[in-house]
Chains A and B, each alone.
Chain A
Amino acid sequence: MTRLALPPPTGTQPTSPAGTGSEDLRAHLPAVEPDRAVSDWGRSERVEGLLDATVVSFLYHYWFRCEVEGIENVPSTGGALLVSNHAGALPPDASMIAKAIREEHPRPRKLHMTVEHFFKGYPFFSMLVAKMGGVPAHPANVHRLLRDEDQLVLVFPEGAKGTEKLYKDRYRLRRFGRGGFVEAAMRAGVPIVPIAVVGAEEAMPTFAHVEMLRRLTGLIYFPVTPLFPHLGLLGAAYLPAKFKLRFLEPVWPDRERSGEASADGEAPDRVRKASGRDSRPEPWDDKGLVQDLADDIRLRIQDELVDMVGRRRSAWLG
């Protein structure tokens, strides 16, 4: 008889994103209800469509004049984890990447953007972020989207460290978290698509932080930008920097090690299931390997950024 294993009531981390036997559960996903305008993740077609047709479209085409390379590196089917650099006090890069996939990709797909948990605590932001396609950056959420729902997920491994960095540090990538994104892709058996974005650093550069006002407002940081705080709400406006997005070749983290044959696109734990019980440890348990891959992807993006910044003549005209 299977024993009931009730977890202790308090803890900090879930033991594993989806527990055991997750592959059986893929067949039991809820059916799509076509009448609904809101998805199970809280994404609203109406709000998303409205923003897409107005603000996002304007920014993409006329304000930032986005230029896209390598869109074919985004797979047309199946889950994929998109990894990008992150910049700007109020970062515009996520919505530009999502718009680029909608505009340029031969098979436009929805992109789920992971956002920090604290957004869920801010009134109005919590509503807006979810309706625009934001998903709290929880390992279980990423795993379900990638593995079970075959979706595209965008993560910024730098997190707030990327957006709060000052203008003098522009295009210098921060630490890539603890490599959690590599582990997520390994567990789900999906590729990682690195993205290099140029322009977001100049669109809303941060010159300084005011610690006292940050504490007073309860925000994660209180930046001084060219237009904020002296212009108030107008400070949310972006400078018209030229955006360039370069999608790099996908990396298959579960195939990186030599001899690990899973070329048929099967997820690693499914392969393992088929070939008897796991006599060897899971690849993501090897923290060294995870860190190496994270560093590798970080370096690839950094190299591309250096290349792209070196080629451009002007931050505004490209």
Chain B
Amino acid sequence: MSTQPASPAGTGGRRVLITGVSTYWGGRLAQALERDPAVEAIVGVSPSDPTCELTRTEYVRVGTQHALLKRIVQAARIDTVIDTRLIVDSAAASPRTAHENNVIGTMNILAACGGPDCPVRKVVFKSSAHFYGCERDDPAYFTESMRRPHSPQTSIEKDIVEAERALAAFNDRNAGVTVTVLRFVNGLGPDLATSHSALLSLPAVPSILGFDPRYQFIAADDISGVLEHATRHDLPGVYNAAGDGVLALSEVRSLLGKPPAPILPPWGTGIAAGVLRRAGLKIPPEMLRQLRYGRAVDNRKLKAAGYTFRATSRETVQAFARHLRVRSIGPAVGEGYEYQREVEEFLRWSPAVRGDARLGLERLTPDQLAEVVRALDLLPDGRPARRAPRGTPASASSKSRLRTGSPSSSGGAADSELAAEP
């Protein structure tokens, strides 16, 4: 059996760790990577249970303790770490929780990814365009090389700037690791619950009197698409991720078919927002700045790096408008996934599970199949193992083809598991 270490970006499949797999972003990315046969292993970690259905992703409930993460990274020979865990909406968590997660958590994860004997060769970090802030003297389009004109004002922006600083320091120390920082603009999609989707779902769209800020949105499909692109290709550096086009808030409002509600005064806006917060309308401080000055980023670097956006900002808002109209006639069937640990473990590990189209069969990559085949050949009496029928229909043909190939480097997990079987 091969004992060579997992090659980082070679022909052997990638071994991916997704932190924050319970977030919408992490879950969508895991689902996308599950369909990719080039990804050999997906481990998702998060302090809370996944919120979407995953088939071959291994979920480990763990926070950001770097000692534990380091053990997972080492044990699973992870070569790619995708950090989707950043909180970019201060309505989603208290400032203290957000700081713990964004600054301390990032520090811990990077600590687990660094070091001389670490198998990690790539770190993808989901950041936010809040990095740039919103100010009066901003450029119309931020490019990746621009600095913030002013120091951050809100707690979320401070956290993001600090997290990115930790990433830059990590990048300086670890020359062999490709570091990608993706700065996303506001995401908008049917399943994405953010302060902005809440605001745009109201019967009228609140705004600051006398201001019509510029807005960009990115569709949920593009969020996972960009993360996937950064996982598949090596994109060292910082990249802005935003749908094409910049909309004025009034344009967004008319696309949604809603009346304007300029309820926030231009002066004393913070106080008015505090009053509204008591009345149940949550407008976090970083959003207030966006509602006043707006912001747009230049997405051309990411496009030049080979990514094609599936939706423009306008199409994203139109899709959201469709969703709002459909939602008004009642909830869709089959909504609300709940993670059940016992069920998931049964589906993954029980010998009683037969291969079918959705579970089991697709989990095995060609490399893993080759390992299975090789392991079967090595068994002394050639007794057919139970796993054999669970191979894909292509396994018979792949048997002859793959045996001639170079020894796969798919690592220890599958091998030891098979060897342990009676």
Please, could you name 29 A-B residue pairs with CB atoms under 8 Å apart, sorted by A? A3-B236, A5-B145, A5-B168, A5-B237, A8-B147, A10-B150, A10-B151, A11-B147, A11-B149, A14-B139, A14-B146, A15-B147, A19-B143, A19-B145, A20-B145, A24-B304, A25-B301, A33-B314, A36-B245, A40-B246, A117-B137, A120-B137, A123-B211, A123-B266, A124-B210, A127-B211, A138-B137, A139-B139, A140-B146
Evaluate contact between B168 and A144: CB separation under 8 angstroms. Answer: no
A21-40 vs B, Cβ < 8 Å mask (1 yes, 0 no): 10011011111010011101
Given known A127-B211, A140-B139, contact A3–B300 (CB-CB < 8 A): no
Instruction: Report A's interface with B, CB cutoff 8 A.
Output: 1-16, 18-21, 24-25, 27-31, 33, 36-38, 40-42, 44, 117-118, 120-127, 130-131, 135-136, 138-141, 144
**Closest residue on chain A to residue B216 by CB atoms:** A40
Q: Does B415 contact A (CB under 8 A)?
A: no
**Closest residue on chain A to residue B237 by CB atoms:** A4
Q: Which residues of A contact B171 (CB under 8 A)?
A: 3-4, 6
Pick the 4 closest A-B CB pairs, nearest first: A123-B210, A6-B168, A30-B244, A19-B145
**Size range of the interface on B?**
35 or more
Q: How far is the CB of B408 from chain A (nearest CB, A)?
A: 26
**Closest residue on chain B to residue A119 by CB atoms:** B136
Evaluate contact between A4 and B139: CB separation under 8 angstroms. Answer: no
Chain A, interface SS category: loop
Q: Does B1 contact A (CB under 8 A)?
A: no
Interface residue stretch chosen among B112-120, B159-167, B190-198: B159-167
Q: A6-B238, A139-B139 are in contact. List 20 more A-B contacts (CB 8 A).
A: A1-B178, A2-B236, A4-B238, A5-B168, A9-B161, A12-B149, A13-B147, A14-B147, A16-B145, A19-B145, A33-B314, A38-B251, A40-B245, A42-B214, A123-B211, A126-B212, A131-B212, A136-B137, A136-B140, A141-B140
Tell me the complex Cα distance, A30–B216, Å.
12
Q: Does B344 contact A (CB under 8 A)?
A: no
Evaluate contact between B312 and A138: CB separation under 8 angstroms. Answer: no
Tell me the complex Cα distance, A170–B278, Å.
55
Tell me the complex Cα distance, A12–B150, Å.
7
Q: Which residues of A contact B145 (CB under 8 A)?
A: 5, 7, 14-16, 19-20
Instruction: Report B's interface with A, CB cutoff 8 A.
Output: 136-141, 143-152, 161, 164-165, 167-168, 171-172, 175, 178-179, 181, 208-212, 214, 236-238, 244-248, 250-251, 266, 293, 296, 298, 300-301, 303-304, 312, 314
Q: Which residues of B contact A138 (CB under 8 A)?
A: 137-140
**Closest residue on chain A to residue B250 by CB atoms:** A38
Tell me the complex Cα distance, A28–B245, Å.
12
Q: Which residues of B contact A25 (CB under 8 A)?
A: 298, 300-301, 304
